Structure 1
Amino acid sequence: MTTLNLPVVVSARTKWIQLFLGLVCMASISSPQYVWTLLTRPLAEKMGVGLAELQVTFSLLIILQTFFSPFQGKLIDRFGPRRLIAIGTLLSGLSWVLASQVTNLTGLYLAYGCLGGLGTGIVYVGVVGLMVRWFPQQRGLAAGAVAAGYGMGAILTTFPVANSLAAYGLEHTLWLFGAIFSLVGLLASQGLKAPLDEVTEPASRFVAQSSRQYRSGEMLRQPLFWLMFAMMAMMSTSGLMVTSQMAIFARDFGIADVVVFGMAALPLALTLDRFTNGLTRPLFGFISDRYGREKTMFIAFALEGCAMTLWLMSRDNAVLFVLLSGVVFFGWGEIFSLFPSTLTDTFGSRHATANYGWLYMSQGIGSILGGPLAALMYQYTGGWHLVFGCAIALDFITAGLALWVLQPWRRRFMQQQA
């Protein structure tokens, strides 16, 4: 008697459980990046250093998170997501615990920057790569949902960290929250698993998807990949030029402590930003699943450029500062759902984790240009106009590339495969 090896359709319950666990893992590693702006002043006072030197820590975090991601992606493909993502969550939390004990910049670079970057990189690439495999029909939504965990996870910690810093000081805050992050991430990672090769689901009816499964080496030989890489690097640079400096320029504008809706403007803006930065990822991912990746990119990137322009023009208005900060983050955060889903649509899902690891390196490029360079530009010019001007220009250029270069090029590429 012959047994037919028929594909198995994954149950909806299983994949949504995976999505929830991935979201929790992402939330557990979000604070090292998104709460960093609250830590800059106490760290600078403790170590007696300037902003530019201190921001190297933030850049190291992003660089190590991104530049090692291809290697981490291959490890995840080989040893499985549960084991590697568990290690990543532990390393991320441990970076805060160790940073609470350091007394110099070198120690901070190694603990917060390097160790934290390696840990968050493993988790980020692993979870996103896992979700685009579990959800072939809702790739943008799934990638956006777990990326939202990374963007919105800090909503739960922004005010507790700020209150803890005021009440108990820097060392206690880093130690306590680092331990909590490790525990939460470790528990959630134990339920993660990769979909079986024979588990399939019909491809999207709305977005063209590759029938060929490109390995990383094959993908890197395609100029189309490098266009996506350049576009994501440009958008990453634009966003990080302002998000990593937000507390500083809010104080320079004289509105950081102005009361808006019963709260200080800066922490209120940071909380709103976490929400919109998380909301935009599944929302624009969902829209792109229905109406196309490139059209969605054009709308989102142009929206950020317009919002930044208005933000700079109304910099002395605390209410508009808070509201427009939310719009800026709303137009930036979706890069973490649109680019991984577009990449997987184009080059296949079998090697999605390792492939996205290569694309995610563009975030490291953005951190080099968006962190210390923006701080140096501010120091030499004495103002924020040049910083904002560069970020706005990058937004509009990338929006144009999405609609008038990426879209026709990718259409031709997919037709050649067919």
Structure 2
Amino acid sequence: MSSVAMGASEGANNPLKSKWVQLALGVICMMAISSPQYVWALFTKPIMGQLGVSLTELQITFSILIVLQTFFSPFQGYLVDKFGPRLLLSIGTVLTGLSWVLSANVATVSDLYLTYGVLGGLGTGIVYVGVVGLMVRWFPQNRGFAVGMVAAGYGIGALLTTFPISNSLAESGLQGTLTFFGYIIGAVGLLAAQGIRVPHADRVQTAGQIEAAAAGVSPMAMLKTPIFWLLFLMMSMMSTSGLMVISQMGAFAKDFGVTGAMVFGMAALPLALSIDRITNGLTRPLFGWVSDRIGREYTMTIAFGLEAAAMFVWVMTRSDPLIFVLMSGVVFFGWGEIFSLFPSTLTDTFGQKHATTNYGFLYMAQGVGSIIGGPIAAYIHSQTESWLPVFAIMIALDATAALLAFFVLRPMRAKYLQAKVA
């Protein structure tokens, strides 16, 4: 029996070696670590009241979370490649849960930086980069869809916790909420990580899945190419707009006068956050699937342009609670797909051998976006006493990224791939 057939037989006997089981486990791991980023807006008001700090000081926590989640991702990707995803994902999920448990008892904002920010950032970063790097290897022919699915787990996972956390804050307070959900996050993620496996080399090469770029471009070689830095710039621009909304939504919803409003019998802000989780999750596999068929750059142009248009309509109708809730969902539908399009484009261009570490370098753009969209956006608001300049900047970034995808990235990447084949 050939090695390919043996690999297929072994995979049939062991469900953990099915790519679909691995995809499901990856989604669960991503869902488990999504809440620290996506429900942060629910914690800002109670934490400000408990610690007596300003919004600008508090948002540094969010930036630390994203910066460590992203700026350490090349090193985290290297560790995943060296020691295997099961061990590293186990460590990452435990650190994520622990960050909430320890945050429940902090007395100063500096302590919050260390617990929620540092531990949470390191934990979520290990899991995120590890799962994405694994999926581009399990699904070499449909990586846009596969990466979109696990990224959807990260985007939509907090849907399961948004209303429970909102209710728990009202009933049990900040400490009880962080402690209880911290244990849940850690336990669920740890259990799912135990089933994670890497694909056998023979499996990657079956069904015509041998790629010209399979040998892969090393991280150092990739960093010398203009294409990487263009992708980094575009992802930084798109990350900034989305993370501004995620980190500041509670604040600008209050200024827009919709925080206490009711929509469909539910409070406007948690309803908007829940709808955001759905659209932010659905857009990732959807646009990933679309990009597998019409091309990455065309899909980027459509999606990025959609977010720019939606954000413009959103801010122009900001005082209407119903439109605020609905348009927030459209904004995230135009944003969340960056987490399927960029890693897929990167691996298409530079190969899959170093995919995890390579994406770790690109994922650092998310950290840049957290700084601009977090404390810098809050500072601009504090200086201008208006959210309109902040939204104007975000709309401009989205529109520019859409134009760059079509007019610059598309011809540049085509020329690079042609030269590599030749």
TM-score, L = length of structure 1: 0.96
1:288-310, Cα deviation, whole Å (9 max, x unpaired): 01110000000000000000000
Of 293, 302, 308, which aligns to 1:305?
A: 308
User: CA separation in 1, counterparts of 2:41 and 2:250?
Assistant: 6
The aligned residue for residue 16 of structure 1 is 20
Q: Which amino acid aligns with 1:350?
A: K
The aligned residue for residue 127 of structure 1 is 131
Q: Which moved more, 1:218-227 or 1:164-173?
A: 218-227
Decide whether aligned partners of structure 1 residues 209 and 280 sit closer, same or farther in structure 2, where only a CA change above 3 A counts: farther
Decide whether aligned partners of structure 1 residues 238 and 7 sit closer, same or farther in structure 2, where only a CA change above 3 A counts: farther
Shift in Å, 1:9: 6.9
User: CA separation in 1, counterparts of 2:396 and 2:213?
Assistant: 32
**1:275 corresponds to 2:278:** yes
1:30-58, Cα deviation, whole Å (9 max, x unpaired): 00000100000110000000000000000
The aligned residue for residue 76 of structure 1 is 80
**1:168 corresponds to 2:187:** no
The aligned residue for residue 326 of structure 2 is 323
User: CA separation in 2, counterparts of 1:193 and 1:259?
Assistant: 46
Contact 1:137 1:203 in 2 (8 A): no
User: CA separation in 2, counterparts of 1:8 and 1:141?
Assistant: 27
User: CA separation in 2, counterparts of 1:315 and 1:75?
Assistant: 45
1:168-317 correspondence runs (5 A): 168-199=172-203, 200-202=205-207, 210-317=213-320
The aligned residue for residue 401 of structure 1 is 404
Contact 2:219 2:354 in 1 (8 A): yes
User: CA separation in 1, counterparts of 2:72 and 2:5?
Assistant: 34
SS across alignment from 2:334: helix
1:24-63 correspondence runs (5 A): 24-63=28-67
Shift in Å, 1:153: 0.5
User: CA separation in 2, counterparts of 1:300 and 1:64?
Assistant: 27
Contact 1:140 1:286 in 2 (8 A): yes
User: CA separation in 1, counterparts of 2:35 and 2:180?
Assistant: 13
SS across alignment from 1:256: coil
Shift in Å, 1:351: 1.1
Shift in Å, 1:259: 1.2
TM-score, L = length of structure 2: 0.95
User: CA separation in 1, counterparts of 2:4 and 2:119?
Assistant: 44
1:373-416, Cα deviation, whole Å (9 max, x unpaired): 11111111011110000000000000000011101111111111
User: CA separation in 2, counterparts of 1:367 and 1:382?
Assistant: 21
Shift in Å, 1:242: 2.0
Shift in Å, 1:6: 5.2
* Alignment RMSD (CA, Å): 1.6
User: CA separation in 2, counterparts of 1:181 and 1:209?
Assistant: 40
Shift in Å, 1:256: 1.4
Contact 1:147 1:336 in 2 (8 A): yes
User: CA separation in 1, counterparts of 2:342 and 2:208?
Assistant: 18
Shift in Å, 1:5: 5.5
1:209-242, Cα deviation, whole Å (9 max, x unpaired): 7354111111111111111111101100111122
User: CA separation in 2, counterparts of 1:232 and 1:240?
Assistant: 12
**1:93 corresponds to 2:77:** no
Q: Which moved more, 1:242-251 or 1:193-202?
A: 193-202
Contact 1:148 1:277 in 2 (8 A): yes
The aligned residue for residue 67 of structure 1 is 71
The aligned residue for residue 340 of structure 2 is 337
The aligned residue for residue 353 of structure 2 is 350
The aligned residue for residue 148 of structure 2 is 144
User: CA separation in 1, counterparts of 2:334 and 2:260?
Assistant: 25
Shift in Å, 1:201: 3.8
Contact 2:100 2:181 in 1 (8 A): yes
SS across alignment from 1:38: helix
Residue correspondences, number: 414
Q: State percent identity of aligned pairs.
A: 61
Q: Which amino acid aligns with 2:46?
A: P
Decide whether aligned partners of structure 1 residues 7 and 416 sit closer, same or farther in structure 2, where only a CA change above 3 A counts: farther
Contact 1:84 1:122 in 2 (8 A): yes
User: CA separation in 2, counterparts of 1:8 and 1:236?
Assistant: 43
The aligned residue for residue 362 of structure 2 is 359
Contact 2:215 2:352 in 1 (8 A): no
Shift in Å, 1:202: 4.4
Decide whether aligned partners of structure 1 residues 123 and 203 sit closer, same or farther in structure 2, where only a CA change above 3 A counts: farther
